[in-house]
Amino acid sequence: MLETILQAITATTGLDLTYIFNGKHLAWYASVRYTIFAAFFGAALALCFGVIGAAAKRSGFAPLRWFGNLYTTMVRGIPDVLFFLFFPLAFEQLIEYLFSFSQCTAAERAGGGWPPCTAAQWYLSTTEYFLMACVSLGIVYGAFAANVIHGAMGAVPRQQLEAARAFGFSSRQIFWRFHVRQMWAYALPGLSNVWMLLLKATSLLSLLQIADIVQWAGKLGAANYFPRAGLVHGDWRWKYYVVLFLFYILLTLISEKIFDYLQRRASKGMAIER
C-alpha cells in the first residue's frame, strides 16, 4: 500500500520519496513511541511523587515535613542529566549486589571486581531501561510538581475553607470538595511548566541505550558510505535535528492548547486573576 502511494506521488510530482520511507527511516518514525510514552508515564509518576511530596511538606509530623523539604530541595538542585544517569546505574548495581549473595562465592565477592561474578550480572533490555527512565523522570520532576502543588494548596483562600466549615462540612469533605478542587486552578499553570520541562528531558533517553528519535536522527544524518555506491550523502544531521525541533515545537503547541482547556475547566465558577 505504501509503495503504491509513493509511486503515485513520484509519478505526479517527480519527487522520489522512497529514501525517507526505507526501513531505517520507518524505525526512526516508530521510535517516537518512546518519547511519547516516556513523557506520559514520567508525568504520571511525577504527579504522584508531587502529591506525596506536597503532602509531606504540609504534614504536621516533623520528620515527614523534613523529608518533603529535603526531597524538593535536593532533587531540584541536581542537574537532570546526572540524576538521569545516576538512578538507573545505582539501581542496576544494587540488583547485581543482591544477586551476588546467591550467585557468587565468598572468594569472588571479596575479589573486588564488578560484578563479583558473571552469574550476578544483570543484563537489561530496552524495556527495563525505559521503565527506569520513566521512574527517573518521575522522581526529578516530581520534586518540581511538589513545590507547585504545595504553593497551590496554600493559595486557596482560607476564608472559603472557613465558610465551608461553618456550613457543617466535615474535614474530609472540605479537603476534597473545596481545598483540592480549587487547588488545581492555581496549580495548573505551574504544572504546565513542569510538563514542558519533562517533555524536553525525553531527549535524554538515548543516554540509557534506548533507540529514540534523537539517537536515530544522529545515525541517519551521519555521513553514509557504501562500498559499491560510494558516498550516498554527507553530514545531514542538522537537517534531521531541524525535524526534531519542529516535532518538539508541535508537541509544545498541542500541550499549551490542552492546558488552556484544563485551566478553563478547573477555573469554572472561580474568580481567579490571571
Comparing CA positions, the residue from 190, 244, 171 lying closest to residue 47 is: 190
Q: What are the grid coordinates assigned to 161, written together?
A: 475553607
CA atoms in the 13 A half-sphere facing the CB of 111: 13
Q: Domain range for residue 142?
A: 36-214
Give domain status of residue 154, yes or no.
yes
Reported as a single tens digit per residue, the pLDDT across 191-217 is: 999 999 999 999 988 888 888 898 888
CATH number at residue 72: 1.10.3720.10
- The answer, yes or no, to whether residue 183 has pLDDT greater than 90, is no
User: Pairing mode, if any, of strands 230-233 and 224-226?
Assistant: antiparallel
Q: What is the pLDDT at residue 15?
A: 47
Examine the pLDDT at 235 and tell me if it is beyond 80. Answer: no
CA–CA gap between residue 103 and residue 218 (Å, rounded) = 39
Q: Does any domain span residue 25?
A: no
pLDDT digits (tens, 9 = 90+) for 119-177: 778 887 888 889 989 999 999 999 999 999 999 988 888 887 788 888 888 878 887 77
Q: Across the strands, what pairs with 224?
A: 233
Task: Confirm whether 148 is domain-assigned.
Answer: yes
Helix axes 32-57, 181-201, angle to 10 degrees: 140
pTM of this prediction? 0.82
Say if 176 falls within a structural domain.
yes
What total number of domains does the chain contain?
1
271 vs 123 pLDDT, higher one: 123
CA separation for the pair 196, 142 (Å, rounded): 13
In a domain, 151, yes or no: yes
Residue 179 domain-assigned? yes
List CB contacts of 116: < 8 A, sequence separation 6 or more. Answer: 96, 100, 104, 108, 109
Q: Is residue 231 part of a domain?
A: no
Q: Please, what is the Cα angle at 149 between 145 and 153, to 5 degrees?
A: 175
* Strand ranges, E, within the chain: 224-226, 230-233
Which one is predicted more confidently, 2 or 36?
36
Determine, yes or no, domain membership for 103: yes
